[in-house]
Amino acid sequence: MGNFQAVLFLAYPFIVYFAYRRLETRAAGGLLLGLVALSLALRIRGPAAEIWQLVRQHLGLVLLIGLAIVTGQRIVLLLLPMAVSLFLLGTFGWSLHVGPPIIERMARLVDPDLPDFCVPYCRKVTIAWCGFLAANGVCAALLALFGSFEWWALYTGLVAYLLLGIFFAAEFILRKLWFRFYGDGLADRILARIFPPERTANGRRSLAYVQRRRERAAIRPSA
C-alpha cells in the first residue's frame, strides 16, 4: 500500500467529518472520489496485472462512495469502517477454514523456519483477531446507525486504532512470556533479561530449538 493510500484509509473518518462541516453528501463523496483517483494516479505503473490489482484494491471504496453520491445518503459513507472490519473478518475466518491461518502466514514471512510448537498458538491468535474485528465492526456499525457523527469520527478515526495498538502490544508481550522465544530486537533483548527463557519449560524448549537451528546452520556450509 502506497503512503498516500495508507494515509487516505487511516484518515478516512476525519476526512468525512471535516468534509461534512462544509459540504453535503454528494459533494463530500465527490471530494473523496477525487482523493481516491489521486491515490490511483500516484501508483499506476508497471505491468497490466499489477495495475489491475491496484484497481481492485480501490474498487470497493469507489463503489461505496459512488453509492453515496447516487443516493445522497450520508450513512453509506459512515458504514465503510464496518465494511472494512467485516472484509478482514471474512479473510481471517476463511484462513482458519482452508489453512494456514493468517497469523501463521505472517509469522512465516518473518521466520520461514517457524517452530512446530508455535503453530497452534498462531491459530488461537487468528481466532482472537476474528473476535476483535467482529467487535470493532459492531461498534462502528452501531455508531454509524445510532450514534452521533462526532462519536463515530472519534471512534473510527482514533479509538479503534488505539485499541488495535493495545491488542498488538498485548499479544506480543503474551507471546514472548509464553514461549520465551526471543529474537535480536531491542524489545526482545529487554524481555529476555526480565523473563529469562531458562526459567520455564516453554523457554527451555525454545532455547533447545534455537540451539538445534544454529547447529544445522553450522553444518550446511560444509555439506
pLDDT tens profile 94-119? 999 998 999 999 888 887 888 888 88
- Grid cell 445518503 — which residue? 73
Residue 37: predicted pLDDT = 81
Binned at pLDDT 50, 70 and 90, residue 57 comes out as: low
Q: What is the pTM of this model?
A: 0.81
Q: Is the pLDDT of residue 47 over 80?
A: no
Q: What is the mean pLDDT of residues 15-38?
A: 83
* 216 or 91, higher pLDDT: 91
Q: Is the pLDDT of residue 52 over 50?
A: yes
Compute the mean pLDDT over every residue in the chain, rounded to the nearest whole number: 85
Residue at 109 is within a domain: no
* Cell, residue 6: 495508507
* Cell, residue 11: 484518515
Q: In whole angstroms, how large is the CA radius of gyration of the chain?
A: 22
Contact status, residue 147 vs residue 72, Cβ threshold 8 Å: no
> pLDDT exceeding 70 applies to what percent of the chain?
90
Residue at 38 is within a domain: yes
Angle at 25 between CA 20 and CA 30, to 5 degrees: 95
Binned at pLDDT 50, 70 and 90, residue 46 comes out as: low
Which of 130-139, 165-174, 194-203 has the highest average model confidence (pLDDT)? 130-139
The HSE-up count of residue 221 (CA atoms within 13 Å, CB side) is 4
Residue at 49 is within a domain: yes
Residue at 222 is within a domain: no
Residue at 79 is within a domain: no
99: left (phi over 0), alpha (psi -120 to 50) or beta: left
Q: Is the pLDDT of residue 140 over 90?
A: yes
Considering its fold, how many domains does the chain have in total? 1
Residue at 30 is within a domain: yes
Residue at 89 is within a domain: no
Binned at pLDDT 50, 70 and 90, residue 223 comes out as: very low
Q: Is the pLDDT of residue 16 over 80?
A: yes
* Cell, residue 72: 445522497
* 166 or 217, higher pLDDT: 166
218: left (phi over 0), alpha (psi -120 to 50) or beta: alpha
* 30 or 61, higher pLDDT: 30
Full domain range(s) for residue 57 = 1-73
Residue 40: predicted pLDDT = 75
Residue at 5 is within a domain: yes
